[in-house]
Structure 1
Amino acid sequence: MLATFLHSPTGIFHLTAALLAMLFGALTFYTEKGSLRHKQVGYVYVAAMVVVNVTAFQIYALFNRFGPFHGAAIWSSISILLGMVPVILKRPGNGKWLHLHYYFMNWSVVGLYAAFWAESLVRLFPIQYFWPVVVLATVGTVVIGARLIRRHKDRLVNQAIQSKPTIEPVRA
């Protein structure tokens, strides 16, 4: 199945965009929040995720119809949209938009990594373990992601606030 996937231009675009999104999604954590570099890296991440999600809707090799991974692509698209709208509109005010941006964008990265681990690990196990492996990889990634998101929220949101002195610190 992987060989078929990689012989498809759509599959190659999907894989390439996913790898770029993983790289730039991780890089956003290491750039100073609110900086020009963070914005540039973030926009590359968003563009790559748009390609990942659009190409996901063109891949039907696994179920030969709309499947659960297409539903995940819808959820991913909504997460990206809900993470970017507050940045563009700067709403809600008083810096609360930063919290929305932080949560939705971080969850989009967690979803991307959950898909990566699920996709990678199912290749190591016989097909009869497909769903247990997908579920365990996804749940494991989500649990780790939730802990990291919660642990770093105050520091990272406040870092963004510090880079913009007109925004008041907000406690969620």
Structure 2
Amino acid sequence: MFHSTTGLIHLLSALLAMLVGAVVLLNRKGGRLHRQIGYLYVVAMLVVNATAFTIFRVTGSFGPFHWLALASLVSLAGGMVPLLARRRLGGWLYWHYYFMNWSVVGLYAAFWAETFTRLLPMNVFWPVVVAATAGTTAVGARLIRRHAAHLLPPAAPKTVGH
């Protein structure tokens, strides 16, 4: 089942990230538990992405999953940079929320792709992966939008004639 030690580390760190990512999403935000588990999620995702760049079993070369690992790193950075620069960045909470949630959605979409590489023949693999990714993304987008509105600062009133 495992093609290498790297593959096993990739799987275990992905499972850890899925577990702690769900805990972060489902619990109260901003407290010590959120921060501790959130940092564990970031570390697990960094391991997932680092190992992803060494796995070439599906395509034999740098391929779509490696590009998605890059997108995952961008999402992690997009969530952590506003947090780390929060004293100098207005609206940091919205950006932290937005990018970290998309990081988790991407992780769950990647879960489907990884699962299907092991279960399906290649002739049906890509259509199923695209459909599962689209479905995961649609559900994730709806949940993210539903909870993001309260994080936006109130709009400044418009002045007439200026």
Per the normalisation by structure 1, the TM-score is 0.84
Task: Report the AA paired with residue 133 of structure 2.
Answer: T
- Tell me the C-alpha RMSD between the 2 structures: 1.5
* Pairs within 5 Å for 1:1-172: 3=1, 6-90=2-86, 91-93=88-90, 96-154=91-149, 157=151, 170-171=153-154
State the identity as a percent.
57
Tell me by how many angstroms 1:12 deviates. 0.3
Partners of 2:120 and 2:52 in 1: CA distance: 23
Partners of 1:171 and 1:19 in 2: CA distance: 38
SS in 2 for 1:22: helix
Partners of 2:119 and 2:51 in 1: CA distance: 24
Contact 1:121 1:137 in 2 (8 A): no
Structure 1 residues 110-119 or 12-21, which shifts more?
Answer: 110-119
Contact 1:22 1:112 in 2 (8 A): yes
Tell me by how many angstroms 1:151 deviates. 1.2
Partners of 1:63 and 1:117 in 2: CA distance: 17
By relative contact order (CA 8 Å, sep 6+), the higher-ranking structure is 1
Contact 1:122 1:129 in 2 (8 A): no
Structure 1 residues 40-49 or 117-126, which shifts more?
Answer: 117-126
Rg larger for: 2
Tell me by how many angstroms 1:50 deviates. 0.1
Number of aligned residue pairs = 154
Partners of 2:145 and 2:121 in 1: CA distance: 35
Task: Report the AA paired with residue 170 of structure 1.
Answer: P
Tell me by how many angstroms 1:120 deviates. 1.8
Contact 2:58 2:117 in 1 (8 A): no
SS in 2 for 1:33: coil
Contact 1:110 1:145 in 2 (8 A): yes
Task: Report the AA paired with residue 142 of structure 2.
Answer: R
Partners of 1:100 and 1:152 in 2: CA distance: 13
Structure 1 residues 112-121 or 136-145, which shifts more?
Answer: 112-121
Tell me by how many angstroms 1:102 deviates. 0.5
1:78-107 deviation digits (Å, cap 9, x = unpaired): 1101100110110422xx100000000000
Partners of 1:140 and 1:171 in 2: CA distance: 32
User: Gapped runs of 5+ residues in structure 2?
Assistant: 156-162
